[in-house]
Amino acid sequence: MGQEFDCDVLIIGGGCAGLTAALYAARSRLKTLLLDKLQPGGQLATTSEVENYPGFPEPILGPELMERFTSQAQRFDCEIRSGQVKSIDASGPVVRVVHTDEGDFRAKAVIVASGADPKTLGVPGEDRLRGRGVSYCATCDAPFFRNKAVAAIGGGNTAVDEGMYLTKFANSVSVIHRRDELRATKIIQERAFANPKMHFVWDTVCTEVVGKDVLEKLVLKNVKTNETSELEVAGCFVLIGTKPNTEFLKGLCELDDLGFVKVNERKETNVPGIFAAGDCEDAVWRQAVTAAGFGCSAALAAKHYIDNLG
């Protein structure tokens, strides 16, 4: 082909999607480079017990699970380096140049697996009690709050839907919403209002998350009256949205209104040779196992693409 490449496949992000893509690419004997702006591990490395990753009948700690993902990819000679991707140049017919704060890398195919960050409240106590009562994912953490009182913050479909899911475990779910009506669709609202475990706290925001070692209570403020109150809860689910880490793709790949990368079922973006997998393209499920599965799909599709370059 007469072109110089640093690798066959360059993977952006070392979470469940990126490390699974790395495993599949490296094991197919593609020269594979994975870049992460932090340590590899992604979101799951920030949590404690993971109970729903298949193959682990006993809970496994998030950091330990992600160390296993990392060593499995490295066993097949995937190179892992730190670097924050700033942009990608796809103007050439084959070469994809990835610009990072650590220099440029040339690859035949790029898999974007840069994940998404849950939106946070930004209030005192939130960061410290993350994983100790403060959660951003009811599907992941609801079973830890069996027969306890929890709060769900938000008023959209996700907040109300996940709030309803929480009622299968918790004995009460207080939905805290800054307005006096929900943004969720009518049918979801009707179901939520009919559920005896759901309680609605209107016109209210959370201004502080309080607890010594684990969450004990929330400080709330009514935005109309400025009155403050406290709510004792064991869990606080912050369900106010998710922000995909896709700024560096703006102007290159098609993104949806929220910034998720648009892909087809082969995880191809609209740009040949650029694939996307995991939470950065999945606005719906956002689970470790789905991200891993999508990473596998993207790597297989990237291999097929490279094989057909000639």
Ligand X SMILES: Cc1cc2nc3c(=O)[nH]c(=O)nc-3n(C[C@H](O)[C@H](O)[C@H](O)COP(=O)(O)OP(=O)(O)OC[C@H]3O[C@@H](n4cnc5c(N)ncnc54)[C@H](O)[C@@H]3O)c2cc1C
Q: Which backbone phi and psi does 244 adopt, to 5 degrees? A: -70, 145
Q: Is the dihedral of CA 5, 9, 13, 15 positive or negative?
A: negative
Instruction: CB nearer to ligand X: give 37 or 178.
Output: 37
Residues numbered 99 to 118 that lie near ligand X (CB under 6 A) are 113-115, 118
> In whole angstroms, how close is the CB of 49 to ligand X at the nearest point?
7
Catalytic residue among 16, 78, 140, 206: 140
14 binds ligand X (CB under 6 A): yes
Catalytic residue among 8, 36, 141, 161: 141
137 is catalytic: yes
206 is catalytic: no
192 binds ligand X (CB under 6 A): no
Residue owning tokens 């009811």: 138
Contact criterion met (CB below 8 Å) for 290 and 298: no
283 binds ligand X (CB under 6 A): no
**Which residues 6+ apart lie within 8 Å of 232 measured at CB?**
149, 216, 217
- In the chain, beta strands by DSSP E: 7-12, 32-36, 49-50, 60-61, 79-82, 85-89, 96-100, 103-112, 116-118, 134-135, 149-153, 172-176, 198-201, 204-210, 217-222, 228-232, 235-238, 242-244, 274-276
180 is catalytic: no
Residue owning tokens 């979101």: 43
52 binds ligand X (CB under 6 A): yes
Question: Which of 3, 38, 75, 143 touches ligand X (CB under 6 A)?
Answer: 38
> In whole angstroms, how close is the CB of 223 to ligand X at the nearest point?
27
Question: Which of 27, 28, 31, 37 touches ligand X (CB under 6 A)?
Answer: 37
> In whole angstroms, how close is the CB of 197 to ligand X at the nearest point?
22
Q: Point out the residue whose Cβ comes nearest to ligand X.
A: 115
> In whole angstroms, how close is the CB of 16 to ligand X at the nearest point?
4
> In whole angstroms, how close is the CB of 190 to ligand X at the nearest point?
29
Distance, CA of 173 to CA of 208 (rounded, Å): 18
DSSP string, 51-109: --STT-SS-EEHHHHHHHHHHHHHHTT-EEEE--EEEEE--SSS-EEEEETTEEEEEEE
Residues numbered 63 to 102 that lie near ligand X (CB under 6 A) are 84-85
Which residues are designated catalytic? 137, 140-141
Q: Which residues bind ligand X (CB under 6 A)?
A: 12-18, 35-38, 42-44, 46-47, 50, 52, 84-85, 113-115, 118, 131, 136-137, 140, 245, 248, 278-279, 286-289, 291
